[in-house]
């Protein structure tokens, strides 16, 4: 028994998301049954996206790296609570979310996520054609960072974590239709923030 006997297909970018889903679930069930070494496989598959989630939420590199560590150790500790035939990704991001909330409470009880995000430097660069694309993506980044945490969270989950809306519903504890509504409102708010900030830069 070991990684040598592991015969799962690596779902690449072109591969169907469902293949990755099935493989994750199969690996997690074996981790749950005691093959804890296979957690390395799940870590390899997910450490970057999970890091991306934390980094986009907190803008803090070191904290995000610590949180990734925390998430995978929690997966190990709470492996019994994983239910077969449910989305591993949804379960994992639920844990990630809890880890982040715990951390925020512990670190700076007086400040919320929003305060951490507020310190985004403003930059005035000439609207040179070559700089334009970069500037646009910088403004978008600032717009995203300045959204309230709940909007930012649903947006990051929907856009960057490769999740279906049913999975996000499970993570946030709401109905699929509510997820769709929240995503729509969050994208709209992001668009408004973006327009507002671009106007400010243009002046």
Best CA proximity match to 21, nearest among 38, 42, 36: 42
Q: Report the residue from 76, 101, 127, 131 that binds another protein according to the rule CB under 8 A.
A: 76
Helices (H), 59-112: 61-77, 88-107
- Local structure of 113: helix, strand or coil: helix
Task: Tell whether residue 95 is a contact of another protein (CB under 8 A).
Answer: no
User: Which range binds another protein by CB under 8 A, 18-26, 89-97, 121-129, 155-163?
Assistant: 155-163
Best CA proximity match to 94, nearest among 202, 154, 168, 27: 168
User: Which range binds another protein by CB under 8 A, 2-10, 80-88, 115-123, 190-198?
Assistant: 190-198
The residue among 110 and 119 lying less far from another protein, judged by its C-beta, is 119
CA distance 18 to 162: 11
Residues within window 111-140 making contact with another protein, judged by CB under 8 A: 133, 136-137, 140
Task: Tell whether residue 141 is a contact of another protein (CB under 8 A).
Answer: yes
Size of the site for another protein (CB under 8 A): 43
User: Which range binds another protein by CB under 8 A, 85-93, 98-106, 110-118, 189-197?
Assistant: 189-197
Q: Report the residue from 10, 107, 108, 188 that binds another protein according to the rule CB under 8 A.
A: 188
Residue 126 has phi, psi (to 5 degrees) of: -65, 145
User: Which range binds another protein by CB under 8 A, 47-55, 78-86, 87-95, 97-105?
Assistant: 47-55
Largest Cα separation within the chain, whole Å, is 65
Let me know: does 24 contact 91? Beta carbons within 8 Å: no
């Amino acid at each position: 028994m070991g990684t040598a006997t592991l015969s799962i297909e690596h779902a690449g970018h072109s591969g169907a998301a469902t293949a990755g889903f099935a493989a994750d679930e199969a690996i997690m069930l074996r981790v749950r049954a005691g093959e804890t070494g296979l957690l390395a496989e799940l870590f390899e598959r997910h450490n970057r996206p999970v890091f991306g989630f934390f980094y986009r939420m907190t803008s803090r590199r070191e904290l995000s790296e610590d949180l990734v560590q925390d998430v995978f150790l929690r997966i190990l500790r709470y492996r019994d609570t994983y239910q077969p035939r449910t989305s591993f990704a949804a379960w994992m991001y639920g844990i990630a979310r809890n880890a982040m909330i715990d951390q925020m409470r512990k670190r700076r009880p007086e400040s919320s996520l929003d305060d951490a995000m507020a310190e985004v430097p403003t930059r005035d660069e000439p609207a040179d054609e070559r700089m334009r694309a970069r500037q646009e993506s910088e403004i978008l980044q600032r717009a995203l960072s300045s959204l309230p945490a709940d909007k930012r969270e649903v947006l990051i989950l929907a856009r960057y974590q490769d999740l279906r809306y049913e999975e996000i519903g499970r993570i946030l504890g709401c109905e699929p239709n509510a997820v769709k509504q929240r995503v729509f409102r969050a994208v709209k708010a992001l668009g408004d923030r973006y327009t507002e900030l671009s106007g400010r830069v243009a002046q």
